[in-house]
Amino acid sequence: MTEEEKYPPGKHPNQLAALRKYQQRWQKGQSGNPKGRAPKELTLTSLAREKLAESCPYAPDKTWAEYLVERWLGHAVENAVYFRELIERLEGKVLQPIGGEGGKDLIFNIVVSNEQTKDMVSKVLEGERTVATGNDKSI
3 compared with 48, residue with greater pLDDT: 48
Concatenated DSSP letters of 60-112: EEEEHHHHHHHHHHHHHHH-HHHHHHHHHHHH-PPPPPP--GGGPPP------
The residue among 16 and 139 whose pLDDT is bigger is 16
C-alpha angle with apex 67: 82 to 72, nearest 5 degrees?
5
Question: What integer pLDDT is reported at residue 139 of this predicted model?
Answer: 45
pLDDT per residue as tens digits for the range 67-91: 999 999 999 999 999 899 988 988 8
Dump pLDDT digits (tens) for 98-127. 777 777 888 878 888 888 888 888 888 888
* pLDDT for the residue 132: 60
pTM for the whole structure? 0.41
38 three-class SS: coil
